[in-house]
Structure 1
Amino acid sequence: MSIERPTKAANTGVRRSMQGNKSRDTKPELAIRRLLHARGLRYRVSHRPLPGVRRTADIVFTRLKVAVFVDGCFWHGCEEHHTVAATNAAYWAEKVRRNRERDQETDQLLRDAGWLPVRIWEHQDPRTAAEQISTLVQSSAERGERPGP
């Protein structure tokens, strides 16, 4: 079944809302990055870890090969917070399904290339997320190897 993509927003309110969605520097990302930076960790922001693959991680520790994605609950289908779209529901359901499929594919591509993909939901406490990321990165750096899954 092919889902036809709407060419225009349903109304000006929807259009403004969609234009306001950011692909980087979201509040959860900024909070996590601030906490990681305060811990002395340095990283790349909005970086493509794999050459030739159009997938961008939110936070990347290049030397240790750790790619962090801060996933939005609506866009990536969080089982706890995802809501069904009221307008163009079939289109958005397919969009979220494909995003989840692409996330799994991205994680596998990264693992196959020796990277550790880390997925954080936007609703997670930034302190807990930063602690999780920090632990992976610091233990890996101390051992001189890439962290395991």
Structure 2
Amino acid sequence: MVGKWVSTSEGRHLAKRRKTNTSPEVELRKAVHAAGGRFRLHPRLAKGCTPDFVLPSRRLAVFVDGCFWHGCPEHGRRTPWTGPNAELWADKMRRNTERDHRANALAEEQGWRVMRVWECSVRADPAGVAARILT
């Protein structure tokens, strides 16, 4: 059994983080809309599957994954966790990955195509990511 979280000064800022309508998500939605895409926000496709937005006419569910929380291969954590919550952090990141795979499977079972984009890609070129989504 994994232990209990220990409050640390390094992790205090994480309690107030946004879960929806993050800046990369909003930036991408603006680019998709400017390119002619029309979407619905945060629809619940199935229990445990709520994409950031969907394009109903294309049956496409889009998830904007944060580099830190979802383990971006370029910007994700590369060193082992340290500190009093190390085991808890490692477990949390593992669960995030499992949840992503489960959400993909649930959306696909409902007949949706799934596209996951990294936060860093959106920040670097929102119009380019929007173009990939709309093709």
Same fold (TM over 0.5): yes
Match of 1:4 in 2: 3
Sequence identity, in percent?
A: 39
- In structure 2, how many angstroms separate the alpha carbons of the residues matched to 1:27 and 1:72? 10
May I ask how many residue pairs the two structures share in their alignment? 129
* Higher RCO, Cα 8 Å, sep 6+: 2
- In structure 1, how many angstroms separate the alpha carbons of the residues matched to 2:62 and 2:97? 16
* TM-aligned CA deviation for residue 86 of structure 1: 4.4
* TM-aligned CA deviation for residue 38 of structure 1: 0.8
Q: Secondary structure at the match of 2:52?
A: strand
- In structure 2, how many angstroms separate the alpha carbons of the residues matched to 1:104 and 1:57? 12
* TM-aligned CA deviation for residue 40 of structure 1: 2.1
- Residues 101-124 of structure 1: CA distance to partner in whole angstroms, max 9, x if unpaired? 111111112112211011001010
Give TM-score scaled by structure 2 length.
0.85
Match of 1:144 in 2: none
Q: Secondary structure at the match of 1:9?
A: coil
- Structure 1 unaligned regions, length at least 5: 136-149
RMSD: 1.7
Give TM-score scaled by structure 1 length.
0.77
Greater CA drift, 53-62 or 22-31: 53-62
